[in-house]
Structure 1
Amino acid sequence: MIDKDRLAQKCSTWNIQLTGAQLDQLDRYARLLVDYNQKVNLTAITDPEGIEDKHFLDSLLFASQPEVTGRMVDVGAGAGFPGIVAKIYRPDLALTLMEPTGKRVDFLRFVCETLGLEGVEFAKERAEEAARKVWREQFDLASARAVAALPVLAEYCLPLVKVGGCFVAMKGASAAQELAAAQGAIRKLGGEYRETRDFHLPGGDARSLVVVRKISRTPTAYPRNGGKIAKAPLK
């Protein structure tokens, strides 16, 4: 379905090297996504080059960062971006796909089984509820893409990260504005902003990776329940 040579060429621009087996897995993933999307709403992007750029390359730019290692949770995993792509690129990654919607969890499980991906956990949970259970401060890395604005996202993700770990938010053109609004929340939740890494996808779309280090334990008052997080984001 996808043009594997075209994707490999685009990846080489950022020194991202994919094996033939990895390209085959991504091609199979794209086919599964488009087919499954006919019965479960997973993505509005179904054309081959759109999938290559806006799903796969976008996720690979994340997956190639040095913070992507150890035990990772993809919060609001949706159709598996960036989590499943990161697992394909870094097979040694211990991945938890956290997604509250059962039909999407079924898809994620189906894809991982079909592609033969091992070492993947599936958590049918909302992040703010998961962080009050066994997953609190258990991960080296939390990531999220297209889930919420950064002040809200920080409260979803940072309580899941162990001290010394990282939260990396995948953002678009609004990254700087969202970061300015989230600085207070990040500090309250035990995080410290480190840097923003900016990219442009082949079509010109801006992408930013906002890197936050967890420097102290999240106070027990956080995360609050989902309604409070959404209505009154931390400042």
Structure 2
Amino acid sequence: MIDKNRLAEKCSTWNITLTGRQLDLLDRYAELLVDYNRRVNLTAITEPEGIEDRHFADSLLFAAQPEVAGSVVDVGTGAGFPGVVAKLYKPELRLTLMEPTGKRMDFLRYLCGELGLTDVEFARERAEEAARKVWRERYDVACARAVAALPVLCEYCLPLVRVGGVFVALKGPDADAELAGSANALKKLGGRHEATRAFTLPDGSERRLVLCRKISQTPTVYPRNGGKIAKKPL
């Protein structure tokens, strides 16, 4: 399916080293994704090199960050990016895949079973509802990719992070503008911008990893319900 040597070479430019076993599992992941995508809409990217660049390399950039350790929740994970790839790269992670869509959750369960992944929790939940349940302030790391604008993501993700943990947003070249509009959300939710790391993906597209540290508990009034978050971001 994918060109394993090509992917390994691309990732080596970021000092990301993949074992033969990891490359085999990523290749299997791509096969399962494309096959399942014929029945359930999971991704518009189905060409091998597109999967390598826009799904795998992108997710590995996140996974390789030193802050990505311990317990991780992938909010709105969809087809498992970046969470499942991070788990393949760092098997010691305790991963929760949070996805409200039943058909996608069925794929994630099937995928993790086929890949032999253990210590994975499947939470069929909306983040704003999960944060009012047992998942509140439980994680070392929350991540989200292509889910919503950053002020909205902050309200989805920061309530899930323990004090001292981090929220990592995978963003494109407009990250700085989104961050500028997120100051109020970060302040109200107990977060602080820590760093923005810029990368260029193998296909030339720009990626920004926006890291926000959780410095205090999120007030119990947050998160609000999904409609309020969308209509009136903090």
**TM-score calculated relative to the size of structure 1:** 0.99
Equivalent-residue separation in structure 1 for 2:101 and 2:36 (angstroms): 15
State the SS of the aligned residue for 1:7: helix
* CA deviation profile, 1:49-106 (whole Å, cap 9, x unmatched): 0000000000000000011100000000100000000000000000000000000000
Identity of aligned residues (%): 74
Match of 1:172 in 2: 172
Q: CA deviation at 1:174?
A: 1.0
1:173 Cα offset (Å)? 1.2
In 2: Cα distance, 1:181 partner to 1:131 partner: 23
**Residues 10-36 of structure 1, C-alpha deviation per residue, up to 9 Å, x if partnerless?**
000000000000000000000000000
Q: What displacement does 1:184 show?
A: 1.1
**Aligned partner letter, 1:79:** A
Residue aligning to 1:101: 101
* CA deviations over 1:153-212 (Å, ceiling 9, x no partner): 000000000000000000001101100001110111000100100000112100000000
State the secondary structure of the residue aligned to 1:66.
coil
Structure 1 portions without partners, runs of 5+: none
Q: How does 1:48-67 map to 2 (within 5 A)?
A: 48-67=48-67
Q: In structure 2, give the amino acid aligned to 1:206.
A: E
TM-score (norm 2): 1.00
Supply the AA of the counterpart residue of 2:47.
D
- TM-fit CA distance, 1:220: 0.5
For the aligned residue pairs, the C-alpha RMSD in angstroms reads: 0.4
After TM superposition, where is structure 1 displaced by more than 6 Å over at least 4 residues in a row? none
Which residue in 2 is equivalent to 1:2?
2
Give the distance between the partners of 1:187 and 1:99, measured in 2 at CA.
26
Count of aligned pairs between the two proteins: 234
What residue number does 2:205 align with? 205
Note if 1:114 corresponds to 2:114. yes
Please tell me whether residue 22 in structure 1 is matched to residue 34 in structure 2.
no
- After superposition, where does 1:28-107 map in structure 2 within 5 Å? 28-107=28-107
- Partner residue of 1:132? 132
